[in-house]
Amino acid sequence: MAELHFFTGTMDSGKSTLALQTNHNHAARGRAGRIFTANDRAGQAQISSRLGLTHEALEVGPDFDFWRYVVESLTHGGRIDYLICDEAQFYTRDQVDQLAKVVDELQIDVFAFGILTDFRTALFEGSQRLVELADRMNVLQVEALCWCGKRATHNARTENGAMVVEGEVIVVGDVDDAGAAPADVAYEVLCRQHHRRRLTAARAKAVSLAPEPLPFG
C-alpha cells in the first residue's frame, strides 16, 4: 500500500540530502519518480543539499496542482511510482491534500521533506497539514547544533546580523556562516533558550569580546 511520509527537522539536519538519497535508492530499483521543490536556496527548479548535491526538480508555485499533474502525466503514458517533495513547508494546505489524494486514489508513494516551524516558532501551513495527514512522520536523527553545543530546535532569521521575529514568512536565505560578514538575510539554528533570548552566534561572540567592567564599587 502506498503511503504519505513526512520527514522533518530543523535546518542543517539533512532533509534535502535524505530527499536525494531516497530518490536514488528508489530509482536504483527501477522505480520512476518525480522530484519537486519550492523556494530552494539554489534557485528555481533545483533541489540542493548543503553537502553540495544538486538535482533538477519541478518548482511548486502557489497554483501548482499535484493531482492534475500526476493524472495528466499518467494519461499521456508516463509512469510515476513515487514523488519526492522537498521544502514541503512552503506547500499550501490544498497541495498537501492533493498529495494525500495521489497516495490514496492512485497508490503512489509520496515522500515529503520540510521544516516544522518558521523563524517565529509558528507552524508552516504545509507542515501543519502534513502532520495532520501523513501515514508516517519521521524526525530526522541527524541533530543540528546551536552555537552553544546544545541540540538546535528552532530556526532563527537574521537581518544584517540581528535576529528578527517579525516579517514575511517566506524569505529565501541560507544558513549564516559565523566566520563571514553578516548577510542581508540569513538563517541560523538555535536551541530554545537562545532563540528566546535572541542570542545568535554573532551576538554571543560580540558579548564575549566586550571589555570586562572595572571592579570598582
Residue 13 has pLDDT above 90, yes or no: no
Question: Are residues 176 and 11 in contact, defined by beta-carbon separation less than 8 angstroms?
Answer: no
* Mean pLDDT, range 50-60, rounded to an integer: 84
* Mean pLDDT, range 137-151, rounded to an integer: 87
pLDDT category of residue 208 using cuts at 50, 70 and 90: low
DSSP state of 187: E
Residue 79 has pLDDT above 60, yes or no: yes
Residue 132 has pLDDT above 90, yes or no: yes
* Mean pLDDT, range 12-31, rounded to an integer: 92
Residue 26 has pLDDT above 80, yes or no: yes
pLDDT category of residue 194 using cuts at 50, 70 and 90: very high
Exactly one of 72, 87, 132, 188 is catalytic; name it: 87
What's the start-to-end Cα distance of the chain, in Å?
74
> What is the three-class DSSP state of 154?
strand
Burial 85-117 (b: 16+ CB within 10 A, else e): bbbbbbbbeebbbbbbebbeeeebbbbbbbbbb
Q: Give me the percent of the chain exceeding a pLDDT of 90.
A: 55
* Mean pLDDT, range 115-129, rounded to an integer: 93
pLDDT digits 0-9 by tens, 153-171: 898 988 877 888 887 776 6
Q: pLDDT at position 213, please?
A: 56
Q: pLDDT at position 47, please?
A: 80
Residue 30 has pLDDT above 60, yes or no: yes
Q: pLDDT at position 205, please?
A: 79
User: Please, which residues bridge with residue 35 across strands?
Assistant: 84
> What is the three-class DSSP state of 112?
strand
Q: pLDDT at position 209, please?
A: 57
Is 87 a residue of the active site? Answer: yes
Question: Are residues 11 and 58 in contact, defined by beta-carbon separation less than 8 angstroms?
Answer: no
Residue 35 has pLDDT above 60, yes or no: yes
Q: Using alpha carbons only, give the angle 73, 77, 80 rounded to the nearest 5 degrees.
A: 55
**Nearest Cα residue to 110 out of 176, 66, 60:** 66
